Amino acid sequence: IKNASHILIVTSTTGQGDIPANLAELYNQLNSTFPMLTNKPFGIVAMGDRSYGDTFCAAGRSFDELLRDLQAKPVGNR
């Protein structure tokens, strides 16, 4: 991911606001190694159902927060 020119995360949310299994390893690795992605452009597409209340698009929000913490630069709204 450090060598990518741009980052695009497309995710749904599972369970009680969880990141899907096919993306959980990426999220956990980024969160544990914390590679700085300073000014790397990123976008998040988060799919969900508003009837889930607080967990609506929680996986997308988690990735958005993590990438911002890694100093990546959002190119639009999630």
Closest of 27, 44, 38, 45 to residue 73, by C-alpha:
38
- Looking at residues 7-27, what average pLDDT do you find? 94
Look up the pTM and report it: 0.91
Distance CA 35, CA 32 (A): 9
Question: pLDDT tens digit string along 25-70?
Answer: 999 999 999 999 999 999 999 998 887 888 899 999 999 999 999 9
Q: According to the model, what pLDDT value does residue 51 have? A: 79
The CATH class given to the 7-74 domain equals alpha beta
Instruction: Provide the residue ranges of all domains of the chain, joining segments of one domain with +.
Output: 7-74
